[in-house]
Chain A
Amino acid sequence: MDVYLPVAAMTANLGLLVGLGGIVGFLSGLLGVGGGFLLTPFLIMMGIDPVVSAASGTCSLAGASASGTLAHLRAGNVDVAMGSFLLAGGIAGGGFGTWLVKLLRSQGSADVVIIAAYVILLALVGIVMFVEGLLSRVRSEAEEKKETALCRMLQRLPLGRDFPASGVRTSALAPVALGFLVGVMASLMGVGGGFFLIPAMTFALGMPIRVVVGTSLFQMLFTSAFVAVMQAGLNHGVDIILAMGIFAGSTAGARLGAMAARRVNASQLKLLLALMVLGLSLKMLNDLLKSPALIFAAGGR
């Protein structure tokens, strides 16, 4: 069944959108990755404008992270103080990123920058996932809890304070800076930043994994909601039909992925996904390097 996307001004197959959301949601539930980093490139490949793809993906992400955030809040797994600092940075980064998209779009280089950012991002994610997949069996829990040198360095920065819910002490500047980076990524690429934020909170801030996931979701919910509103207001990029189609698939897919996670070998799947992500990164890099079929790009009417 085809559906017309009023903001993207084109028709897309609804089943394909829901299916794509479902696959991304399934991977999210199975492997604990957000999946936004996979969604936007696939939407771009479907011929949807990169800005609309990223903005609508962010909107669907707000919906997808809402129920998880609520569940973690109820279970006491959210460090609201830490989340608020992350959020402050996220909102500043989201505002900056949205302005950056507007600027790049007016110059006609938004497509190139978004694709280039994806090449770097997917390569990093692919390498991290691959290494994690290889190490996940041999790494002990004690090693994961070990305080890193980065943790100790951040503790020495000004504006240090305690975060009792996480049981850590660090500079308030650290979560603000992390949030800022995630906000910029959300605007530019339509990703929640979980793949970046979760390891960063663990290794840089020294937070326990129980609180990391809930706090990351908390930050993701508000940052993606803010970025989606900004993208809609400044770039007219949010297509509600597109966002809801993806959301419908991803919600169901995430539940199925969570159920499947109890039965399959996640580390092997992580390796497979890592290879897929690296392959996608190489394909996009090739697109960026080879002579374009057209030397024109739409630069606004």
Chain B
Amino acid sequence: MTARAGILFAFVFAVAAHGATTTGGTISARVAPTEAEVGLGFHGVTVRVEGEAPKGRDILLTVLGEREKMTFSSKRKAWAFWIAGEKVAFENAPALYIIKSSAPVGDVLPESKAREMALGKEGLIASLASSPSPVQLLGAREMVRLQRKLGLYETDGGGIMVNSDGSWAVDVNLPCRAPIGSYEITAVAVRGREVVSTASAQFVLKPSRSVALLAGFARSHGFVYGAVAVLLAIMSGLAAGGLFEKK
């Protein structure tokens, strides 16, 4: 990600902190629940985000996972087969990106502004590309398509219900593949295609003790974990064999 895009992300999320905060005093955002556990029965979580805004505002909401370096391999055709080609890395790409809106993003903000603030599909692609070159933009576009397929990026918008009194709400579904970590939730109020205020909140997805133990053990002590897994499988196999023999 470029320094330019970094500054833009920083602009959008500058007010991020624990709990809900607002700027401009015109929009608020609350999250419920503020955290969820990824246990062995986890199959995604729905987070309710709601708040208040003056009447007549359009609202955009983004949910961003922690930023990290992501590396992808492009595919190229060799003979008749599609094989791995060059590697493409994206610095500081959000692990998850969801945008919600009270109206189509293109209707709420001018395209240039949406790109500048990394809002919507085109804005996200522009922010991911390290340069505006066609190759970088193509790479970023494909990366977004891949993440969308995995359910980790949602760029279509929509879903925010705004009531006549200015209160608004939206349900955000975090998929079962949502990475463990903290999520920055930012609500943006727009009037006359201009951003007038922002509010932010945080949601944390944390592993349950069993998941943390298993995943951590598998990653930090891979060989020992493998030996334990195999031993457990063999013992279960022997036990099952004994059980069936008795019957």
Chain A residues in the interface with B (C-beta under 8 A): 1-4, 6-7, 9-11, 59-60, 62-68, 70-71, 107-109, 112, 116, 221, 225, 228-234, 236, 238-241, 243-244, 247, 251, 255, 288-289, 291-301
Whether A112 contacts B81 in the complex (CB less than 8 A), given A4-B42, A67-B240, comes out as yes
> Does A288 lie within 8 Å of B82, measured CB to CB?
yes
- Residues on B facing A (Cβ under 8 Å): 38-44, 68-76, 80-84, 87-88, 139, 142-143, 145-146, 149, 176-177, 179, 207, 210-211, 214-215, 218-219, 222-223, 225-230, 232-238, 240-242, 244-245
CB contact between B82 and one of A7, A229, A292 (< 8 Å): that residue: A292
Residues of A within 8 A of B145 (CB): 294, 296
How far is A297 from B84 in the complex, measured between Cα atoms in Å? 8
* CB nearest to B218 among chain A residues: A7
Residues of B within 8 A of A229 (CB): 223, 226-227, 230
Min CB–CB distance A196 → chain B (angstroms)? 22
Task: Give the docked Cα–Cα distance between A62 and B232 (Å).
Answer: 10
Query: Secondary structure at chain A's binding surface: helix, strand, loop or mixed?
Result: helix
Q: Give me 26 A-to-B residue pairs in the complex whose CB atoms sit less than 8 angstroms apart, sorted by A's number.
A: A4-B42, A6-B214, A10-B177, A11-B42, A59-B233, A63-B236, A63-B237, A67-B240, A67-B242, A70-B241, A108-B87, A112-B75, A112-B81, A112-B83, A228-B226, A232-B227, A238-B229, A244-B236, A289-B82, A293-B149, A294-B149, A296-B146, A297-B84, A298-B73, A298-B146, A301-B68
Can you name the residue of chain A whose Cβ is closest to the Cβ of B75?
Answer: A295
Residues of B within 8 A of A68 (CB): 241
CB distance from B184 to the nearest CB of A (A): 19
Across the interface, do B233 and A11 meet the contact criterion of CB distance under 8 Å?
A: no
Cβ–Cβ < 8 Å partners of A236 in chain B: 218-219, 222
Q: A3-B40, A238-B229 are in contact. Are A65 and B84 (CB under 8 A)?
A: no
| A243 neighbours in B (Cβ, 8 Å) | 229, 233
Which residue of the partner chain A has the closest CB to B225?
Answer: A232
A247 and B237 within 8 A (CB)? yes
> Which residue, A7, A63, A238, A297, has most C-beta atoms of chain B within 10 A?
A63
CA A234 to CA B223, docked complex, whole Å: 8
- Indicate if the CB atoms of A107 and B218 lie closer than 8 Å: no
Q: Given A7-B215, A232-B218: A296 and B237 within 8 A (CB)?
A: no
B230 x A228 contact (CB < 8 A) = yes
CB-CB under 8 A from A66, the residues of chain B are 233-235, 237-238, 241
**A1 / chain B contacts, CB cutoff of 8 Å:** 41
Partner of B40, one of A10, A70, A241, A255: A241
Give every chain B residue within 8 A of A295 (Cβ-Cβ).
74-76, 142
- State whether A11 touches B44 (Cβ < 8 A): yes
Determine which of B149, B210, B226 lies in contact with A238 in the assembled complex, contact meaning CB atoms within 8 Å.
B226
A225 to B238, CA, bound (A): 14
Are A297 and B70 in contact, CB atoms less than 8 angstroms apart?
no
Please give me the residue from chain A that is nearest to B247 by CB atom.
A255
New A-B pairs, 13, CB < 8 Å, besides A11-B43, A247-B233? A9-B177, A59-B233, A62-B234, A68-B241, A232-B223, A232-B227, A238-B225, A238-B229, A288-B82, A293-B149, A294-B149, A296-B88, A301-B70
Closest chain-A Cβ to B124's Cβ sits at a distance in Å of: 15
Which 5 pairs between the two chains have the least Cβ-Cβ distance? A67-B241, A108-B73, A232-B226, A63-B233, A66-B237
In the complex, the answer to whether A297 meets B72 with C-beta atoms within 8 Å is yes
| Partner among B41, B227, B229 whose Cβ is within 8 Å of the Cβ of A3 | B41
Looking across the interface, which residue of chain A has its beta carbon closest to that of B93? Answer: A301
Most buried by B among A1, A71, A236: A236
Select B229's contact among A59, A67, A251, beta carbons within 8 Å.
A59
Q: Which residue of B lies closest to A64 (CB)?
A: B237
CB contacts (< 8 Å) of B242 on chain A: these are 67
Residues of chain A within 8 A (CB-CB) of B76 are 295
The answer to whether B234 and A225 touch across the interface, beta carbons within 8 angstroms, is yes
Give chain B residues whose Cβ lies under 8 Å from the Cβ of A2: 41-43, 176
Docked complex Cα distance between A244 and B234 (Å): 11
